Amino acid sequence: MAYLSTLSDLDPQLINLDSEQVYVPKVLFENEDFKGLNHKGILVYSFLLN
């Protein structure tokens, strides 16, 4: 699975995100391992990665 390796891998538009918003990397939604999960399942998994 490809993970973000540096901060430069993030979309520059994310710099202006509200601190209350949560960013889930696009690679999690596109990865074949997560095709069976809905968006809530992917969000929970992203919290576990942190």
The string of pLDDT tens digits covering residues 26-47 is 777 788 887 888 888 888 887 7
SS3 46: helix
Place of tokens 């391992």: 33
Measured in whole angstroms, the distance separating CA 22 from the mean position of its chain's CA atoms is 9
What was the pLDDT predicted at 24?
73
Residues 28, 43: contact at Cβ < 8 Å? Answer: no
What was the pLDDT predicted at 6?
57
Which conformational region is residue 23 in: left (phi greater than 0), alpha (psi within -120 to 50 degrees), or beta?
Answer: beta
7-23 per-position pLDDT tens digit: 555 566 655 666 676 77
What was the pLDDT predicted at 49?
74
What was the pLDDT predicted at 14?
57
